[in-house]
Every structure is written in C-alpha cells, then in structure tokens.
Amino acid sequence: MITLSGVRKSFNDVEVLKGIDTVFEPGKVNLIIGKSGSGKTVLIKCTVGLMKPTAGKILFEGADYVAMDTNEKKVIRRELGMLFQGNALFDSKTVEENVRFPLDMFTHMPLSEKRDRVNEVLKRVNLIDANHKLPSEISGGMQKRVGIARAIVMTPKYLFCDEPNSGLDPQTSIVIDELIKELTNEYNMTTIVNTHDMNTVIGSGDKILFLHQGEKHWEGDKKSLFETDNKELMDFIFASDFLKEARNAKLASFRNK
Amino acid sequence: MESLYQFGKYILMLKSLFVRPERKAMYWTETLRQMHQIGVDSMVIVFIISFFIGAVSAVQFAYNLSTTITPMYFVGYVVKESMILEFAPTVTSLILAGKVGSNVASELGTMRLTEQIDALEIMGVNTTAYLVGPKLAAAVTMIPLLVVFAAAIGIWGGMLAGAASGYVSTTEYIQGALSWFVPLNTYIMMIKAVVFSFLIVSISCFKGYYARGGALEIGKASTQAVVLSCITVLVSDYLIAWLML
C-alpha cells in the first residue's frame, strides 16, 4: 500500500501539485487521470522518487520514502516496476537482454535460471519468439509487452505505468489494459496507472484519482464515476456527445440492476 | 556564476562514480564494450590521420633542410620528436574529442530523452557509476594505446614519404629517428594521453547525462561536448608542457 500525504511540488514558484492526499491499495489498478498539465506525470515521478516533492510524505507500507537515504531507497526501488510512456527499452540490447537486465544486475541466479525466468515472463505477456530481436525490430504493442515483462521480472510489489496506451491502436490498448489488470491480481501488486484513455478508465479503474490543476478534484471507483456530478470530471471523461450518451446508457443499466 | 554551478555539478558527478558497483560483472562487460567502441573503432581514423601528419611533416621539413647544410637524417629525428611530444597525443585527442566526444554525449543525451536513464534509476542502479564509469575506464585505457599507435604510424609514415619524395633515404631517416632519444618525452606523451582522454570523456558524459529537452538540445549538448573538450585539451596541453619541460 502506498499512502500520499499532502504531496506538493513546485517548479520555479509554480505549484504543480497542491497537497495530494490519497491511498493506493494492493491488488487494485489505481488510476490517476486528468487533463494534460494537471500534474499526473509529476505525481507519478514524485511517487517513484524520480522527483523530490517540495512538501508532504510518500509512505510505502508506512515507511516515508522521501525521508529515506539512498541505500534505503534502493531497497524500495528493487520492489518497483515501471512501464514508461515511451517504453524506455535499451536500444542496444535484445528483448531478452532488456528483460534479463534487472536479474543480471541484482541477482546471483545462474544464466539458465535467468533465461527460464525471462521466458516465463515473456510467455506471460504473450510475447514468444522475439527474444533475439532488438526493440527497433518489433511493433509498438510488442515493445509495451517487453516493457511490462521487464517491469515484472523481479516480481515487484508496486507497478507504475505512465500512459501505457499512448501510441497504440484501440484494440492493442485494451489487450495491454487487460494484461495489466490480470498481472495486478496475479501478483497482488499495487498498480498505479497514469492515463487519459477512457477505455482504461471505464475498463480497469478499481480506484480513480482525478487531478485538476494540481489538486485532487475527485476520487472513487468506475461505478461512482457514472454517478458523480463533478462538472470538471464530467467534462473531462465524457467530452463528446457519444460518450455522454454512453454514460446515460450505462447509468440506466446500473439503476436497472 | 552559471559556469561555477556547472563546474560544481561536474565535480559532484565525478564524485558519484566512486561507489561500490551493484554487480562487478555487469560493469566489466560494459567497460569491455566501451573499450571496443572507443578504442578499436577509432583505429582506422587514427591510422589515416597519423600517417599523413608524419608524411607531411617529413616532406616539409626535408624541403626546408634541402637548402641548408644540416644533415638529412635530422628529418627522422624531428618527425619522431614532434610525433611523440605533440602530434600523437594532441592531434589524436582532438580527433577523438570529435568522434568519441560527440558519440558519448549524444548516446547519453538520447538515453536521458527516451527515459532509459530514468528506467535504470527506478531499478535502483547508480546511473552515473554504471553509465559514466565504464566509459571513463575504457577511455583512459584505450586512448593512451591509440596515442602510442599514432606515434608509431606517424614516424613510419614520415619514413615512407621521405623516401618517396627522394629527400631522405630510409637509412638516413631511421638513423635520425634512433638518435637522441629522451625518455622524458615519452612519459609526457603518456601523461598527456591519460589527461586528455579523461577530460574528453568526462566532459562529454557530463554534457550528455544532464541534457534536457528534445533532439535540438541533444545536438547542442553534443556540439558543446566537442568544443569544450577541444578547448580543455589545448589548455591542458599548454599547462603540461609548461610544467614538465
């Protein structure tokens, strides 16, 4: 479980995060949504430690990550997996070497065991026969799968995904969302996904945190999303007439049940 | 003030290299890869440039001597001394500042831009130690070897060109090249090579590692790396000559 308490972040006197309080629970896909520039990426970067918050606490199982020294942070970081927006795969390494990298760097497993583990996670993300290809030789969807495989190869407790669907077609996006959801349940991970893909929000949002101008504007699950009357959230989620109609239809079906 | 801030940041980057590696084998593999990239991949360009520097020095010096009573074997001596003391370490380093410096800066800049460095950070890797350390170790090992190679090729090039031009025979040239050997000059050459290689790669890594923005900034970082490396090589060349001769 990750608890955020009064997290603030400023850049040159411009406050990007204005005191965020929330809890990300294990075994759930926790979504951070909001318009571009609302502070989603800054929040995720503060949470993983790529940026230091100006104020506030980030607690991993009760331990304050911000106050930790470098060695203590390293222990937490070994339990983190992250899928980057642009995948962040190492260009000069093959798919297998990319996924094996954390094992090579942090474990003393024999090569055969590491290969077995790599093949296991690649199979889990439905990526077979791509071990010896370079990232530039595979499609965007396959690169995402490699990124996910690398993120879960050390069986992390926390999985962070920054815009996992960016640059993917709608069908592949759904497949990636489902994969993230399945893996979250399978490994009982605390998964935090930064997205503005409405399919993800409606399909995977066990918990949704809506940021607006650096503030927590709304928090709930995908069911309560349809019932809320928060204007900013409604304008953001159901931006088109088509989505507004879909919302009404879904709401009606909830009421009938 | 900004320059002072950047210098402080550069010193802190160097300080962060001295940590215990997460896995020595991974650092060693990376160092070997860099040794190949920095050293072996630069051999052809170093060969071509050193050969012609030696050849041109020999022909031009022989031409100047041809109207004097100075014996022609002096050509061999002068080419040897100038290659060892100046051309091999300085010109090779200036070439490598362009080739290796821009390569290192753009590689690290691209890794920064595509979040590969962030990915390493998240895993818990000390990114400066893992990305900069092996490059520096490879450079201070391979560039001095390239400098020795450049000196040898330059002297050999001078011999071939001298003989081909008809100014100085191979025997006379070798006689000159073997005369008045001063060991101190060889030490100076090696000291220059180590200092220059450290400056080129550390400055280029610094510029690349801290690059921000997009493709334009990576291009700028790469250019700044080359320009700053060349300037520091020339200034330190003067300082070493001043202190040691």
Rounded to an integer, the average pLDDT of B206-214 is 93
Per CB-CB distance under 8 Å, the chain A contacts of B23 are 104-106
Are A78 and B26 within 8 A, CB to CB?
Answer: no
Asked if the Cβ–Cβ distance from B22 to A49 is below 8 Å, we say no
- Nearest chain B residue (CA) to A49: B122
Nearest to A84 among B25, B26, B119 (CB): B119
B125 closest CA partner among A70, A83, A160, A42: A70
DSSP 8-state symbol, A238: T
**Cross-chain Cβ contact B115/A105 below 8 Å:** no
Q: How far is CA A22 from CA A83, A180, A229, in A?
A: 21, 21, 21
Distance CA A112, CA A103 (A): 12
Reported as a single tens digit per residue, the pLDDT across A96-149 is 999 999 999 999 999 999 999 999 999 888 888 889 999 999 998 899 899 999
Mean per-residue pLDDT for A7-16? 91
B134 to chain A nearest CA, in Å? 15
Taking a C-beta distance cutoff of 8 angstroms, is the pair B225, B204 a contact? yes
pLDDT at A239: 73
CB within 8 Å: A84 and B23:
no
Report how far residue A158's alpha carbon sits from residue B232's, in angstroms, rounded to the nearest whole number.
46
Chain B: residue nearest A90 by CA? B116
Amino acid at B130: Y
State residue B97's pLDDT score: 95
Question: 138-197 in A: which are within 8 Å (CB) of B?
Answer: 160
Indicate if the pLDDT at residue A257 is higher than 70.
Answer: no
pLDDT tens for B21-73 read: 888 999 999 999 999 999 999 999 999 999 999 999 999 999 988 888 888 88
Distance from CA of B76 to the nearest CA of A (A): 46
Predicted structure pTM score: 0.87
A82–B22: do the CB atoms touch at under 8 Å?
A: no
| Cα–Cα distance list, B158 to A211, B64, B148 (Å) | 71, 15, 16
Residue B166, pLDDT score: 86
Do B23 and A106 make contact, defined as CB atoms within 8 angstroms? yes
Q: Per-residue DSSP letters for B122-147?
A: HHT--HHHHHHHHHHHHHHHHHHHHH
Note whether B124 contacts A106, CB cutoff 8 Å: yes
**Mean pLDDT score, A157-179:** 86
A128 touches chain B (CB under 8 A): no
For residue B11 the two structure tokens come to: 């010193």
| Residues forming a β-bridge with A193 | A31, A161
User: Residue A249 is which amino acid?
Assistant: A
Cβ pairs bridging A and B (under 8 Å): 49
Q: Which of A63, A44, A66 is nearest to A55 (CA)?
A: A66
B52 vs A163: CA distance, rounded Å: 55
Q: How far apart are CA B88 and CA B46, in angstroms?
A: 9
Evaluate if residue A247 carries a pLDDT over 80. no
Which positions 43-102 of A are in contact with B (Cβ < 8 Å)? 48-50, 73-74, 77-78, 80, 82, 84-86, 88-91, 101-102
Sign of the C-alpha dihedral, residues A13, A162, A113, A78? positive
d(CA B239, CA B122): 42
B116 closest CB neighbour out of A85, A88, A160: A88
Q: How confident is the model at residue B158 (pLDDT cuts 50, 70, 90)?
A: very high
Residue of A89, A91, A105 lying closest to B123 (CB–CB): A105
Q: For residue B245, is pLDDT > 90?
A: no
Residue A169, both tokens:
């077609």
In this structure, are residues A36 and A94 in contact, taking their beta carbons and an 8 Å threshold? Answer: no
SS3 A46: helix
Distance CA A154, CA A222 (A): 30
- The closest alpha carbon to B84, from B226, B211, B205, B181, belongs to B181
Which residue in the set A77, A105, A106 is minimally distant from B122, CB to CB?
A: A77
**Residues contacting residue A11 through CB under 8 Å, at least 6 positions apart:** none
Helical spans, DSSP H, in chain A: 40-48, 70-77, 95-106, 111-124, 140-152, 170-187, 198-204, 222-227, 231-237, 241-256
Average per-residue pLDDT for chain B: 93
Query: Any bridge partners for residue A57, and if so which?
Result: A5
Residue B104 predicted with pLDDT over 80: yes
- Mean pLDDT score, A177-195: 90
| pLDDT tens, position by position, B215-243 | 899 999 999 999 999 999 999 999 999 99
pLDDT beyond 80 at A13: yes
Residue of A nearest to B28 (CA): A105
